[in-house]
Amino acid sequence: MNIKSHKFIRLGLSYLIIGIMFLIILYPVAWIIGSSFNPGQSLSGSSIIPKNASLMHYQHLFNLEETYYLKWYQNSLIVSCLTMIFTVLSVSFIAYAFSRYRFFGRKYGLMTFLILQMIPNFAALIAIYVLAFRFQLLDTLSGLILIYVGGQIPLNTWLMKGYLDTIPRELDESAKIDGAGHFRIFFQIVMPLAKPILAVVALFSFIAPFADFIIASILLRSEEKYTLPVGLFNLIDDQFGAEFTTFAAGSVLIAIPIAILFLFFQKYFVSGLTAGGTKG
């Protein structure tokens, strides 16, 4: 076997493996999309290509007299967007402080963040509920946002600090010689260079609350305050009807804002990869 044939076989096997993995990932997504267009409420007769495609489930979701779906969507967008904004702002300042300054307790602070990110959210549900109850934050979107922002800080601080450490400190020193203060260095020099990691933090901090079910189900009580995961769960948990195909339609629509946000930040991901490959 010559070198050309060997390379052809390796390339063919690579494409075969990629194709198999693509089908494994794509099949559940295609099945959910197909199920959302199937009439009826049972998933047993659903297929990827529905025989009698119908928009009845989408019409049911958008009917304000039948469901609170649009309200749930609005709540999820509000919670996720505000969580993303406050997380990016807070993590940027905290990571910058840990990256650029040396102060008492710095090492222990980083170690605390490392330990906190190892603890799953459900392990602290009792503490979260008690805190929300004492501060009268139960059944409020503001309480949910505060909890999500606090939970996003440890992991994202480590991610951003690691990236900020790769930005040369000589840039800060040159700016100081020119008379720039700390905030000017932060906003005009460091943050523009940190756009790739800011995009990563923004995407992570948007997806997590948008798809979270456990914490939202513990804190939210009123149906009009539900976020999408909690509201959709109630559609199939209702003892008087299991609306599985309606749930599938609602699940399809959940992916829209996440896909848009990913496409918007994609160029920053690419630039982050290329920048990481050139920094020593």
Q: What is the DSSP string of 166-180?
A: TS-THHHHHHHHTT-
**pLDDT band of 50, cuts 50, 70, 90:** confident
Q: Could you read off the pLDDT of 205-224 as tens digits, one per residue? A: 999 999 899 999 999 989 89
pLDDT reading at 279 higher than 50: no
pLDDT > 70? residue 2: no
Domain locations along the chain: 3-57, 60-278
| 34: CB partners within 8 A, 6+ apart | 46, 47, 48, 49, 50
pLDDT (average), residues 172-198: 87
Contact, 143 vs 137, CB < 8 A? yes
Q: How far is CA 210 from CA 57, 114, 117, 190, 205, in A?
A: 21, 24, 19, 29, 9
pTM: 0.84
Which are the contacts of 177, defined by CB distance < 8 A and separation ≥ 6? none
Average pLDDT over residues 175-200: 87
Q: What pLDDT is attached to residue 276? A: 41
> Under CATH, which architecture does the 60-278 domain have?
Orthogonal Bundle (1.10)
